[in-house]
Amino acid sequence: MALLSACGVNLAPKMNKAEKEAMAESQYPFMHASLYSNALERMGTAINSSVAYRKIVQPKEIGNTAGGNELPFNLTNMVINSISEFSGPRFLVVPYDPQYIISDYQTGGKGTRVLPDIVIGGSITEFDKDIEGDSTSIDLDVLISRQGEEADIGLGKGGSKKISRVVLDLYLLDYKTHSVIPGMNVSNTIHVLEMDKDHGFGFAIWGSGMGIDGKIERKQGFHKAMRNLVEYSILQLFGKYYDLPYWRLLGMKTVDSEVTHSMVKGFNAKNRSQQVMEIQRWLRRYPLGPVTIREQGGGTYAQVPVDGFLDPVTQGFIDKFMQKYASGRAVNSLGDVYVALVELGTFPSQTAAKRPEDIKGSRDSLSPNMGKTKDNDSYILMTP
């Protein structure tokens, strides 16, 4: 009777309170904040406030030529979203959608479009899955015997980690000639880490026993990693194009010599008066305070003039800038002064995005809240 009556009882397990809360949280969307959102915004501000000309930019289809089901097959929307952070009076983004243009024309639209000045091309060019990894496993089995009775106890512990590598190449084309703009290309690498740990416990008495096993896995998402790689590459690509010190936004320790060389080349193309005026304008961006000059009658000056003359007043402000902001920096010409002014003044008070330099740093930075609705940065390894 007890067995028959039990047939009508619902023996399904019930969800506890924590599980119900987790289910409730996961149904709500939340704003997606990427690792380089602030850096993209700062770059856009610099472009629209310091560039004297407007550029219309259009991305080609940025796809995946390396394969791999884990990777997105099309990165075009990620690129559009990234460069849209630059949008303003000096930077216009025009996506190319031929199907929309044709459909619009067929339904009575004008069928016209704005032609770009420059085009972004590129793709995922390398994907090496699990190129490096290691695993460990420890097993302990103990047999206890006493007065003819035996108990078998086992313990186990293990873990593994794997690393995959993805490479993204991007370049800029001149729309009129469809030729690659010299020097306007980047190739960056990202490493994605996967790791797991497992524990086990078991015992047996007289041949009967029970075992408990547990396993946890953490994987950095390939798609989130690709978004970070796209944004990182876009910052670098347009930093080169506009001669902006993008490395200060990316947390890079080394200066891009191609950008600084281009800056000096453009500076040297101006005459002496224009060079001095450019330096004087940049000096005004710094809170240097008054400068006292003892030469030529002396005097205290609250601000550097913008007159194109390299007089003792201007030289005094240059010396104060070098002492306060660029102490120990080698300066051999006005071009070196100009590079220092631009590099240190374009993105002031900028906190660079975190970039772990080794595997341990990446592993230790994994968020304990991964999997919850709170957005988590994918801390990844980047190699310029």
Asked whether residue 230 is domain-assigned, the answer is: no
State the average pLDDT over residues 272-284.
Answer: 94
The boundaries of the domain holding residue 324 are 269-348
pLDDT averaged over every residue in the chain: 79
Q: Is the dihedral of CA 251, 255, 260, 262 positive or negative?
A: negative
DSSP 352: P
Per the DSSP assignment, residues forming a β-bridge with 138 are: 157
Q: Does residue 217 or residue 366 have the better pLDDT?
A: 217
174-201: pLDDT as tens digits: 999 999 999 999 999 888 877 666 666 6
96 found inside a domain? no
Cα distances (Å, whole numbers) of residue 107 to 66, 104, 116, 252, 314: 39, 5, 25, 50, 63
- Mention every residue, 6+ apart, whose C-beta is less than 8 A from residue 50: 346
Tell whether 279 is covered by a domain.
yes
> pTM of whole model > 0.85?
no
pLDDT (tens digit per residue) in 53-97: 999 999 999 999 998 888 889 999 999 999 999 999 999 999 887
| 289 located within any domain | yes
Task: Please say if the pLDDT value at position 379 is more than 60.
Answer: no
299 part of a folded domain = yes
Q: Can you give the pLDDT at residue 358?
A: 45
273 occurs within a structural domain? yes
Question: What count of other Cβ atoms lies within 10 Å of the Cβ of residue 213?
Answer: 10
For residue 13, pLDDT beyond 90: no
pLDDT band at 8 (very low <50, low <70, confident <90, very high): low
Residue 80 lies in a domain: no
- Domain contains 68: no
pLDDT in tens, 200-215: 666 565 555 656 555 5
Angle at 376 between CA 18 and CA 74, to 5 degrees: 120
Domain total for the chain? 1
Report residue 136 as tokens. Answer: 């460990």
- pLDDT at 371 > cutoff 80: no
Residue 162 pairs with which residues in a beta bridge? 133, 194
Among 64-68, 221-225, 254-258, where is mean pLDDT lowest? 221-225
What is the per-residue pLDDT across 334-352, written as a single tens digit (0 to 9) for each?
A: 999 999 999 988 887 555 5
